[in-house]
């Protein structure tokens, strides 16, 4: 009986181990790829979709940008940002995890789920802060 | 030691079918306790949001309020009917579906023999719940069951060129115009509805987005350049042909193939798979929300 319990615990530990090992290797290769071409141009991050990008324009428009790029309207437009967010830290926190402020939002938790790095969130916040 | 190695290998190779649900979106219908109340809450929400859209008009989705979408669908439907161009892909898929429906199965029976009235109206008897197993049986599953019962191999639910896609399109066409008439009464049916509802309102993937975010909460708004359609009416008009951006032709998309596409666009690591339990449950809930609307198969949709 003891042997079985021991085996079960060992198996559970190994299972956890292989899970984290799997995650680590996946994260490591993902990070390596990200590091190789981590996008830091805020305009590209804002307007482009796909992996490694911000996808911001899928939901948010910049009315002052008249270049004609398609932008969604599911989220509020990027306008009067300094008035709406006198403290830019709050804007960064919203990009990182808007669910913390609005539980039914559909805005992805870019920081919490590591979709963007803190540095990328910084440059995006600076970029939209001018509008 | 051998046992441990085996357990380790088994544990690592356990398949994961879909991203886990990490919370729910509390929008119209979420808090309703019964299928009837859920449907009513969603209908009320949309009647308030789009007072001009009534009854059967819901099957036209975003075309109800977007002239651009209307024009797009009009031109592409024209192409489908060879008005000015022979679209790539589309005729081949139709021919494949007809072949799958009409060619006798290994024991000599035909697909039409598996259903009452030669298959006319059969799609409208699904999705239903198998009382014994509690599982949702879709029309596509019934088509595969028919094939297997008469000696043929089941078709791949995710194959839109030579698999279930083309067969589903042709077989569902025989129910065009019939109105969805789902009733949810037994405990097994209620459980299936609740499971499907959880998938619809459940947040999943890295973006933590739910079907309900786009197709209830934000329906009628624009995602980048795409108008978001309301949940009501969606399940009534699949499979659809959509524009293939690579070939500029048309490609077929079944309802469950669309679920996968939606989850791919919202960055799910393991998008929900065609023919999976989650997908079948979702189809059960989703179809109920289109109750009373007429079916149509093989139409063009953006």
Residues of chain B short of pLDDT 70, as ranges, are: 1-17, 83-86
Side-chain-side CA neighbours of B28 within 13 Å: the count stands at: 21
Instruction: Identify how many contiguous H helices and E strands chain A contains and give both numbers.
Output: 5, 0
Residues of chain B by 3-state class (helix, strand, coil), percent to 5: 50, 10, 40
- Say if B9 falls within a structural domain: no
Side-chain-side CA neighbours of B168 within 13 Å: the count stands at: 33
Q: Which of A48, A74, A95 is the best residue to mutate to test the B interface, defined by the most B CB atoms within 10 Å of its own CB? A: A74
Supply the pLDDT for residue B297.
95
Number of domains in chain A: 2
Side-chain-side CA neighbours of B227 within 13 Å: the count stands at: 18
Task: Mark which residues 18-37 of B lie under 8 Å from A by CB.
Answer: 23, 25-27
* Cβ–Cβ under 8 Å, residues A110 and A60: no
Contact A58 B224 (CB under 8 A): yes
Do A61 and A122 have their domain in common? yes
* Structural domain for A66, as ranges: 39-129
Supply the pLDDT for residue B246.
81
Nearest to A106 among B7, B206, B217 (CB): B217
Do A54 and A101 have their domain in common? yes
What is the CATH number for A111? 1.10.760.10
Number of domains in chain B: 1
H or E segment and range at residue B297? none
Supply the pLDDT for residue A16.
44
Distance of CA A12 to the CA centre of its chain: 32
Do A20 and A75 have their domain in common? no
Supply the pLDDT for residue B80.
82
Do A48 and A76 have their domain in common? yes
Supply the pLDDT for residue B243.
87
Q: Check B12, B114, B214, B262 and give the catalytic one.
A: B262
- Say if B10 falls within a structural domain: no
> Considering only CB atoms, which chain A residues are within 8 Å of B228?
74
Do A57 and A1 have their domain in common? no
Contact B223 A58 (CB under 8 A): yes
CB of A72 within 8 Å of a chain B CB? The answer is: yes
Distance CA B15, CA B9 (A): 12
Contact B224 A70 (CB under 8 A): yes
Do A82 and A107 have their domain in common? yes
Q: Tell me: the pLDDT tens digits for A83-96?
A: 999 999 999 999 99
Instruction: Identify how many contiguous H helices and E strands chain B contains and give both numbers.
Output: 10, 9
Distance CA B229, CA B61 (A): 5
Find the closest chain A residue to B28 by CA distance: A104
> Considering only CB atoms, which chain A residues are within 8 Å of B206?
108, 113, 115
* Structural domain for B24, as ranges: 18-300
> Considering only CB atoms, which chain B residues are within 8 Å of A14?
4, 7-8, 11
Q: Tell me: the pLDDT tens digits for A9-64?
A: 444 444 443 443 334 444 444 444 445 589 999 999 999 988 899 999 999 999 99
Contact A7 B12 (CB under 8 A): no
Nearest to A14 among B8, B207, B228 (CB): B8
Contact A14 B267 (CB under 8 A): no
Under DSSP, is residue B116 helix (H, G, I), strand (E, B) or coil? helix
DSSP B122-147: GGGG-SEE-TTT--EE-HHHHHHHHH
The stretch A113-127 carries a mean pLDDT of: 97
Q: Is the ipTM of this complex over 0.90?
A: no
DSSP B214: I
Supply the pLDDT for residue B11.
45
What is the CATH number for B183? 1.10.760.10
C-alpha separations of B180 from A58, A69, B125, B211 in Å: 34, 40, 9, 21
> Considering only CB atoms, which chain B residues are within 8 Å of A110?
none
Supply the pLDDT for residue B177.
97
- Say if B166 falls within a structural domain: yes
- Say if B2 falls within a structural domain: no
């Amino acid at each position: 009986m003891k042997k079985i319990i021991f085996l079960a615990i060992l198996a559970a530990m190994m299972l956890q181990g292989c899970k984290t090992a799997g995650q680590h290797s996946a994260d490591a290769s993902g990070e390596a790829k990200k590091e190789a071409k981590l996008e830091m141009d805020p305009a590209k991050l804002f307007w482009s979709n796909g992996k490694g990008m911000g996808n911001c324009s899928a939901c948010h428009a910049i009315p002052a940008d008249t270049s004609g790029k398609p932008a969604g309207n599911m989220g509020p437009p990027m306008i009067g940002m300094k008035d709406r967010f006198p403290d830019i830290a709050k804007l960064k926190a919203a990009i990182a995890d808007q669910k913390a402020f609005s539980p039914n939002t559909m805005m992805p938790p870019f920081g919490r789920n590591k979709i963007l790095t803190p540095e990328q969130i910084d440059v995006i916040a600076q970029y939209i802060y001018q509008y | 030691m051998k046992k441990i190695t085996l357990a380790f290998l088994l544990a690592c190779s356990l398949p994961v079918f879909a991203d886990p649900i990490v919370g729910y979106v509390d929008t119209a219908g979420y808090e309703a306790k019964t299928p009837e109340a859920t449907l009513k809450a969603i209908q009320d929400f949309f009647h308030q949001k789009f007072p001009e859209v009534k009854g059967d008009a819901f099957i036209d989705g975003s075309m109800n309020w977007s002239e651009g979408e209307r024009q797009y669908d009009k031109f592409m439907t024209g192409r489908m009917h060879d008005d000015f161009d022979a679209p790539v892909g589309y005729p081949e898929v139709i021919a494949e579906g007809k072949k799958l429906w009409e060619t006798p199965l290994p024991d000599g029976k035909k697909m039409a023999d598996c259903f009452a009235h030669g298959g006319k109206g059969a799609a409208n008897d699904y999705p239903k719940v198998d009382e014994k197993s509690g599982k949702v049986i879709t029309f596509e599953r019934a088509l595969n069951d028919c094939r297997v019962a008469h000696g043929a191999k089941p078709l791949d639910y995710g194959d839109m060129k030579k698999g279930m896609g083309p067969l589903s399109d042709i077989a569902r066409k025989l129910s065009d115009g019939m109105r969805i008439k789902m009733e949810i009464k037994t405990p097994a049916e209620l459980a299936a509805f609740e499971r499907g509802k959880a998938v619809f309102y459940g947040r999943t993937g890295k973006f933590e987005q739910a079907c309900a975010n786009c197709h209830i909460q934000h329906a009628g708004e624009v995602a980048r350049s795409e108008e978001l359609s309301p949940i009501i009416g969606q399940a009534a008009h699949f499979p659809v042909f959509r524009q293939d951006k690579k070939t500029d032709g048309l490609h077929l998309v079944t309802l469950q193939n669309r679920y996968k596409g939606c989850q791919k666009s919202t960055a799910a690591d393991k998008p929900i798979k065609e023919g999976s339990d989650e997908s079948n449950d979702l189809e059960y809930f989703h179809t109920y929300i289109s109750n009373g609307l007429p079916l149509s198969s093989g139409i063009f949709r953006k």
